[in-house]
Amino acid sequence: MERNIVLIGFMAVGKGRTARELARQSGRYAIDCDDLIESFSKMKIREIFEHLGEPHFRRLEKETGLWLEHHVRNTIISTGGGFVNVPNLKKIGVVVYLHSDFEAIVNQVMDHPQAKKKLEKRPLLKSLKKARKLFDSRLPIYREAADVEIDVTGRKTADVAGTILQGLGIAPLAAKDK
């Protein structure tokens, strides 16, 4: 059985879309930690933050981390920006950090046709000043946790996914099987 690929990185850097592209190029499944948390708790991430608080959300992330370690193989896993802090991260799979600088991430969110939705989904992006502080404090943690780091600034998702697969020595599917 192959190891999972775990994508970490700051909010809105593109972990979800990169995971889906990696799945497409490699023929594996892609799953997302925040989706798992939402389906398990039957609440949106935004509602969990609002009604149960951030510490509760962090506990759910840890539980999800344990579930992934024990039940999931051969899968591309995208994570929320704070999932890097789950204690068993390295046991879940090979950890790939998607890096972009703070300004590029913010500009990309603001320029997106669904900017409002993207911001609503992410309570921690509401204050740009706080988000920047969080980015600065998380950066060394992402770098420490990563087996592989890739700069995604201004790059196409397909190109990023191709580079990741190549770096991990995973053969892409033949064009006809994609």
Which residues lie near ligand S3P (CB under 6 A)?
11-12, 15, 34, 45, 80-82, 122-124
Nearer to ligand S3P, 129 or 176 (CB): 129
CB of 175 to ligand S3P, least distance (A): 30
CB of 1 to ligand S3P, least distance (A): 27
Helix spans in 33-172 (H): 33-41, 45-47, 54-71, 89-92, 102-111, 115-121, 128-145, 157-168
Under the phi-then-psi rule, with left for phi > 0, alpha for psi from -120 to 50, and beta for the rest, what region is 2?
Answer: beta
Q: How far apart are CA 170 and CA 173, in angstroms?
A: 9
CB of 158 to ligand S3P, least distance (A): 20
Tell me the two tokens of residue 160: 């990023």
Nearer to ligand S3P, 45 or 77 (CB): 45
Nearer to ligand S3P, 93 or 166 (CB): 93
Question: What does residue 44 show for φ and ψ, rounded to 5 degrees?
Answer: -75, 155
* Residue number of the CB atom closest to ligand S3P: 80
Nearer to ligand S3P, 21 or 34 (CB): 34
Q: How far apart are CA 176 and CA 34, in angstroms?
A: 32
CB of 176 to ligand S3P, least distance (A): 32
